[in-house]
Structure 1
Amino acid sequence: MKQFWSFIIIVLLASCNSATENKTVESSLEESKIIEEKPKLHVDTLSFVAYNDDGDYFLLYAKKNKEDFSFINDKNDDRSFLKGDVIEVIWKNDTIYIAGDGETPELAEWVVSTRKIKDGTVSAFRKHYKKELKYNWSKEFEYSQGYLDQLYLVVEYYIANSQNQLIKEAVESKEQIEYSIEEQIRNNKEYTVIGIATVSEHKVSTIQWLYYQHGDALELYEYDLPNDELIKFE
């Protein structure tokens, strides 16, 4: 009888050891599967457009061949790129949750790393001009510092890319450039109107008027004085 119970105990112990081994193997397989299913990394060269840190997720906007791209930029602290810089972006597809939509999951492109490959026109402009643009506005208009900073980048980009000969000459000779800011309604649309001017011996000479459209479009227009029309500036 003792031999019988000894045999039963040996069988049970062997069964437990086998189950433990199987569970260990299964766990290892599950871990291997997770490792194998890590998100694939993608890489591309793009033209930097802007940062947007105002929403639930920080964003980086870029372009390639006139196509717009938007990346989640939450874990990237670098904010040194200027519009037009050629950058390399490494990203992966991962999940975001849309606030206000029942936390609905959605796939998006997440930045893994970025680096600048080549200066754009704004970076080149800053290295050459080496001055701050000055600006002023009427106190009847209340602008947040964030919006003033946004306008500064818009004007800087325009100056760096403008084909206006007077602006080119002012940049080349490093004259002091400043701009005024005001609000106007034109054809039932609200615009921030920017007057770019040079300043010398207390004389202000306005060179170009720009219209910056409010709303989601945020489009910039040159004012064509002879024809009294707005021409979109790309």
Structure 2
Amino acid sequence: MKKIVAFSLLVYCISCSPGPEKNKDKKAERKKEIQRIAVKKDSLQRDTIEFVSYNDDFDYSQLNGKKGKEEISYINDQNNDRSFLRGDLIAIEYKNDSIYIAGDGETPQNAEWIVSAKKIKDGKVSKFRKEYNLPIKYHYSKEGEISSTYLDHLYKLAEYYIANSKKDLIKISLKNKEQLGYSVEKQKKNEKDYYVLGIYVEFEHRVSPFQWLYIDPETDTIYEYDLPNDKLIEFP
């Protein structure tokens, strides 16, 4: 009886175990899938986009841009140029190629790689730097523990706002080459954290902020503060 039971169990185990042929089929299928993704490469393509930002915080460097209202990102590992400013019109050459994300095994993913990029027209920030030709001053509380890297990032956001603002006070200040600056502090509004910039004109070593900006650190969205109505208005 014991022999019969043992034999039955052996037959059951053999029938349940994947055979060598099935394992081979699975491996072959997996290999084909990887090859299918990896070889999905296109010839060189060209486009013109509005530059938004660089991002070097991931496994692969990125160049972010806009095409109309559409936001687009490209892998930028093969391009060391970091001279573009937000709003610049750039001509790019790119191709589809593979990337391998850390922690995702050996499976490749398709992505668009920048091969070359060249500025063809100055955006408003580039024009602002050439015409205003003065640094924007800023000060902040040391207790805020803001890193120098993030202070540089806030500077670019403030610069973008000033270059694109339609506020009369800012336009007049730029025209008269008055010294613009801003203060930086962290504040909470509606239970959300923001960096608040107080834009001012310096006159005889005195400052008086005339426009408050709220920066969402998660999205980099800039909001103008509407003081009479106590609300935030998104800046485009």
- TM-score (normalised: structure 2): 0.81
- Cα displacement (A) at 1:104: 3.0
The SS at the match of 1:206 is coil
- 1:153-212 superposed Cα distances (whole Å, 9 cap, x missing partner): 000000000011101111111100111000011011100000010001012121210000
Q: Tell me which amino acid in the other structure corresponds to 1:136.
A: H
The SS at the match of 1:150 is helix
| Partner residue of 1:221 out of 205, 220, 223 | 223
The SS at the match of 1:125 is helix
Tell whether 2:117 aligns with 1:114: yes
Give the Cα separation in 2 of the matches to 1:214 and 1:50. Answer: 15
| Partner residue of 1:52 out of 55, 60, 85 | 55
Give the Cα separation in 2 of the matches to 1:111 and 1:186. Answer: 39
- Cα displacement (A) at 1:70: 0.3
Q: Tell me which amino acid in the other structure corresponds to 2:231.
A: E
> Is contact 1:167–1:207 with CA below 8 Å preserved after alignment?
no
Which residue does the alignment assign to 2:235? 233
Aligned pairs for 1:46-195 within 5 A: 46-195=49-198
Q: Tell me which amino acid in the other structure corresponds to 1:222.
A: E
- TM-score (normalised: structure 1): 0.82
Give the Cα separation in 1 of the matches to 2:200 and 2:150. Answer: 20
> Is contact 2:41–2:97 with CA below 8 Å preserved after alignment?
no
Query: Which structure features the higher share of strand residues?
Result: 1
Deviating above 6 A after TM superposition, structure 1's stretches of 4 or more consecutive aligned residues are none
The SS at the match of 2:128 is helix
Q: Tell me which amino acid in the other structure corresponds to 1:228.
A: D
- Cα displacement (A) at 1:218: 1.9
Which residue does the alignment assign to 1:202? 205
Give the Cα separation in 1 of the matches to 2:104 and 2:220. Answer: 26
Tell whether 2:215 aligns with 1:212: yes
Q: Tell me which amino acid in the other structure corresponds to 2:128.
A: F
> Is contact 1:198–1:206 with CA below 8 Å preserved after alignment?
yes
Report the structure number with the largest CA radius of gyration. 1
The SS at the match of 2:209 is strand
> Is contact 2:198–2:211 with CA below 8 Å preserved after alignment?
yes
> Is contact 2:42–2:97 with CA below 8 Å preserved after alignment?
yes
Structure 1: which 5+ residue stretches go unaligned?
Answer: 1-36
Give the Cα separation in 2 of the matches to 1:38 and 1:54. Answer: 25
Using a 3 Å threshold, how does the CA distance of structure 1 residues 168 and 191 change in structure 2: closer, same or farther? same
Give the Cα separation in 2 of the matches to 1:113 and 1:92. Answer: 10
Using a 3 Å threshold, how does the CA distance of structure 1 residues 85 and 96 change in structure 2: closer, same or farther? same
Structure 2: which 5+ residue stretches go unaligned?
Answer: 1-39
- 1:46-65 superposed Cα distances (whole Å, 9 cap, x missing partner): 10000011111110000011
Counting matched residue pairs gives 197
- 1:92-136 superposed Cα distances (whole Å, 9 cap, x missing partner): 000001112224310000000000010000000001000111111
**Percentage identity across paired residues of the two chains:** 57
Give the Cα separation in 2 of the matches to 1:218 and 1:205. Answer: 25
